[in-house]
Amino acid sequence: MSRSGAKIELTAPDISAYRSGNTGIPYVTSFESGHPGPHVLVNALTHGNEICGAIALDHLFRGAIRPVRGKLTLSFANVAAFQRFDPANPTASRFVDEDFNRLWDNATLDGPRHSTELARARLLRPLIDTVDLLLDIHSMQQSTAPLMLAGLMEKSTALARRVGIPQFIIRDAGHAAGKRMRDYGGFGDPASPKAALLVECGQHWEESAATVAIETSLRFLAAAGILAAADAQMLLARAAPPQRVIAVTDAVTITSDRFQFCEAFRGLECIARAGTLIARDGAREIRTPYDDCVLIMPSRRLATGQTAVRLGRFTD
């Protein structure tokens, strides 16, 4: 049990064997099939304390997963933060200087600022520019059902449906605090064939989060069409609950240092009546804007400028 009270069921893998890689970028490895096809990237450790993604990549490496067409790249992103991971204080290693997943716009990447995360993003950027399909593996603060964050692009929702898990697909516009890798460049351009997904595999250190990360990674590679046909058919034929889509209509951004939820929400609560009070942000009351409002990923990091919770509705 950590000092924060969180139960740590996962052990962070030793990824030192993957440091050299073969791309000229530390901790990034590509496998070429020799046949035409997409460049597919599975990315882990966007946040250093979200270790289920590192476990999934380690699984892919150890399983000698190779593409039969196109190119597969496996990337450990914010290694500097991950190397600080301490099970006794697991939340402290989310990042070193700033959130790696709020930097992915041209103005920030080309700008004058410097940080550990920006340096790593700038190093990865030329590779990201060549990627056709991206899966970015994350986990959550709350113990709630896994989510696939597909953004607003129909192409990404279609890709999420081909992957087939998790059950809940979230169509969301991102954060006011900065753009995520999932929305960078062609991934966020409806005219581009590129597509990206961000999977939230469950609570950060639950054993099930690693299972979801591994299963989602393999299904993603199958959906991308780069696995052998027999392997892909076997993966995608596995039974999974019917997927449901939740469209995010509002993102509640914190504007004061006195934000407080009215209840200990964990996520995916469906609030039956419009106008229900769910939080206070200083003098401002946060109420549900419509009936059957779904709360998505309520945060424990209640800092000014950050997203406290997203509000959505089922579209099916």
Reading phi first (left if > 0) and then psi (alpha if -120 to 50, else beta), residue 94 is in alpha
**Contact assessment for residue 157 and residue 232, using Cβ atoms and an 8 Å cutoff:** no
Q: Please tell me the predicted confidence (pLDDT) of residue 4.
A: 54
Total tally of structural domains belonging to the chain: 2
- At residue 222, does pLDDT exceed 70? yes
Structure confidence by residue, pLDDT tens digits, 267-313:
999 999 999 999 999 999 999 999 999 999 999 888 898 899 999 99
Q: Please tell me the predicted confidence (pLDDT) of residue 237.
A: 84
Establish if 10 belongs to a structural domain.
no
Q: Are residues 179 and 277 in the same domain?
A: no
Within a 10 A sphere around the Cβ of 31, how many other Cβ atoms? Answer: 17
Establish if 279 belongs to a structural domain.
yes
Q: Please tell me the predicted confidence (pLDDT) of residue 142.
A: 86
CA–CA dist 148, 137 (Å, integer): 10
Structure confidence by residue, pLDDT tens digits, 109-167:
999 999 999 999 999 999 999 999 999 999 998 889 999 999 999 999 999 999 999 99
Q: Please tell me the predicted confidence (pLDDT) of residue 10.
A: 96
293: CATH: 2.40.50.630
Give the burial string for 117-139 (b: 16+ CB within 10 Å, else e).
bbebbeebbebbeebbbbbbbbb
Structure confidence by residue, pLDDT tens digits, 235-248:
888 889 999 999 99
**84 lies in which domain range?**
16-242
Establish if 3 belongs to a structural domain.
no
pTM for the predicted model, two decimal places: 0.93
Q: Are residues 275 and 160 in the same domain?
A: no
Structure confidence by residue, pLDDT tens digits, 162-212:
999 999 999 998 777 789 999 999 999 999 999 999 999 999 999 999 999
DSSP state of 241: P
**Contact assessment for residue 270 and residue 241, using Cβ atoms and an 8 Å cutoff:** no
Establish if 6 belongs to a structural domain.
no
CA–CA dist 32, 51 (Å, integer): 26
- At residue 6, does pLDDT exceed 80? no
Phi, psi angle pair for 50, to nearest 5°: -100, 75
Percent of the chain with pLDDT over 70: 98
